[in-house]
Amino acid sequence: MAILVVGHKNPDTDTVAAAIGTADLFSKRGMEAKAIVQGELAPESVFVVEKFGCATPEIVTDATDKQIILVDHTDVSQTIDNLDKGELLAVVDHHKLGDVETSGPLEMWVWPVGCSCTVLKGMYDFYNIEIPANIAGAMLCAILSDTVMFKSVTCTDADKAAVEALAKIAGVDDVMALGMEMFKVKSAVDGATPNELVFRDYKDFDMSGNKVGIGQLEVVDLSMLDAHKEALQAEIEKVKADGRHSVFLLLTDIMKEGSEMLIASDDTSVVEKAFGVATDGAPVYLDGVMSRKKQVAPNFIKAFEA
C-alpha cells in the first residue's frame, strides 16, 4: 500500500505541489508514495497543475490504517482525519511546529523559509535526485504563490534561489510574468460563492483553547472585492457561529502590499492587542501585512495569551 502524502485542509498551491513532489521524491527513494489532498483544488492550484501537466491528486480524508507523510502543516486542526489511527512517517514544512504527536521517531524537514517547496527542493538536492520538469514548474509556482512573488516578509534568499533553479528545470523564462498570470487566476472572484471565497485559503488554529479561523484572499487590486465585502462579512459570521471564538479574513492587495481584515469575534479587543488598532468589529486596514504565517497568526497567538 502506498504511503499517502497530504497537506492541510483547504489545499493551497504549496500543499498541492509539495504533496506531488514529495510523493515523487519518496517513491524514487524506494518508498512508494502517492499525493492526495483533503478537498477540491482552488482556481490557482487548478491553473498550476493544468499548466504543467501534473495529475490532480485524489481526495482522501481519513488516515485510518494508512502510512502518512504531512506537508505544509503540523497542526491537528488542519490535518487529515484520524491521523492518530495511522502512522506518521515524515513531515515537510515551513511553519511553526504544531500539535501533531507521534508514537515513534520520524523524518523531519522543517525550515524557516517562505514555502514548503523550497524545503522540498533542498531534499531533492540532498538525495541527488532529478526533479521532473512538470513538478519543478508546480513547485516554482508554489513558491511564487506563498511568497507573493517575493514581496512577503516570509521570503528568504533560499526561496529566490530555489525559484531560479526550478525555472531552469521547468523551462520558464519569465517567472514574474508567470506569477502575474497565476495571481490573476487567484484573484478571480466573480462566480464564486462567499463560502468558496472564505475557504479558498483558510486555516483553523487553537489559540489558548480558543478555535480561531484565519482566511486570506489575495488579489491584484483590492477594489475587485468591493462588491463582495458585505457577503464575505456575513459568511465569516456564519463560520464563527460554528464553534469558533473568532474568524478573520484578510483581503490582501499584492500590488499595494497591505491587507484589509474583516472581523467576526467574541472579543474584538484581541485585534487591538495584536495590531494596535482599535475596532468595534469594523474592518481594519493593515499596511504592509501580507503573511498570515508570520504577521497575523503569531500576533493573534500572543494576543490570546495576554
What is the pLDDT, as a whole number, of residue 188? Answer: 86
Mean pLDDT of 127-153: 97
Query: Which of 81, 140, 138, 135 is closest to 114 using CA atoms?
Result: 140
User: Which CATH number applies to 194-305?
Assistant: 3.10.310.20
Give tens-digit pLDDT for 31-51: 999 999 999 999 999 999 999
**Domain boundaries, given as residue ranges, for the chain:** 3-184, 194-305
pLDDT digit string (tens) for 225-281? Answer: 999 999 999 999 999 999 999 999 999 999 899 999 999 999 999 999 999 999 999
Secondary structure of residue 283 in the 3-state scheme: coil
* 128 pLDDT above the threshold of 90: yes
Please check whether residue 203 is in contact with residue 95, taking contact to mean a CB–CB distance below 8 angstroms. Answer: no
Whole-number pLDDT of residue 187: 87
- The H or E element spanning position 135 is helix 133-146
Residue 134 has pLDDT above 90, yes or no: yes
Backbone φ and ψ for 248, nearest 5 degrees, come out as -120, 140
What percent of the chain clears pLDDT 70, i.e. is strictly above it?
Answer: 100
Single out the residue of 94, 171, 179, 158 nearest to residue 132, CA to CA. 171
Is 3-184's fold the same as 194-305's? no
Q: Please provide the average confidence, as pLDDT, over all residues in the chain.
A: 96
pLDDT single digits (tens) 70-93: 999 999 999 999 999 999 999 999
pLDDT (0 to 100) of residue 190: 83
Q: Which CATH architecture has domain 3-184?
A: Alpha-Beta Complex (3.90)
Say if residues 1 and 67 touch (Cβ distance below 8 Å).
Answer: yes
